[in-house]
Structure 1
Amino acid sequence: MGIIPHKKNKRYNYTPRYYKGSGDGSPFEMKHKFDDYRSTVGSSGGIKSKFSSALHELRNAPDKSANRRIIIIISVLILLFLFIIDFDLSIFFSKL
């Protein structure tokens, strides 16, 4: 395109000094530490299959008491917030 050709990038092939090439893959691979335990990570498919696998993982969670605990904590915090801002709960009840 121009008169002066663009400089090409040099290839740099680096191997660590003490890397023995174990079967774990590349030492430079960035991976989350919980990916091995999740069924929803790395699934290829549409959005419907992703949602269904996420729901399946949520239903078959090994620690359902933790989910209940989180819901209780969130509901208490919401009620506390509503109390602090002086929210009137009477708008949800009908006046007879």
Structure 2
Amino acid sequence: MGILKLRKNKKFSYTPRYYDDKGQGNPFEIKHKFDDYRKSVGGNTGLKSKINNALDELKNNPDKEVNRRVLIIAAVLILVFLFIIDFDLSIFFSK
């Protein structure tokens, strides 16, 4: 076993005795319940495509209150951070 090599996980072809597949898919597949409705969840894509998918979800969200709430929370957190590091906000205002 090499120093930099990672060990592969073992795969077993196990099917339960009383498993009845009625279009539900694999019962052992780990999947989030909202994956079908989101574009940003998926394969390994580049950083640019991930950001574009997240912005598309933000723009095409039917619930606009959620977008506003997220922006308000982000603004409050940024202001708290600036307060903690003693940032002088007066540089943005002219005298």
Give unpaired runs (5+ residues) of structure 1. 1-10
What is the rounded CA distance, in whole Å, between the counterparts of 1:29 and 1:23 in structure 2? 13
Change (3 A) 1:53 1:75: closer
Kindly report the root-mean-square deviation, in angstroms, between the aligned alpha carbons of the 2 structures.
3.2
- TM-score, length-scaled by structure 2: 0.60
Give unpaired runs (5+ residues) of structure 2. 1-10
- TM-score, length-scaled by structure 1: 0.59
Q: CA deviation at 1:48?
A: 7.6
2:84 alignment partner in structure 1? 84
What is the rounded CA distance, in whole Å, between the counterparts of 1:70 and 1:54 in structure 2? 13
Query: Cα deviations across residues 10-44 of structure 1 (Å, max 9, x unaligned)?
Result: x954221221122122222222211122245558x
Letter in 2 for 1:86: D
Q: CA deviation at 1:91?
A: 2.8
Number of aligned residues: 85
Q: CA deviation at 1:46?
A: 8.8
Percent identity among equivalent residues?
A: 68
Bigger Rg, structure 1 or 2: 1
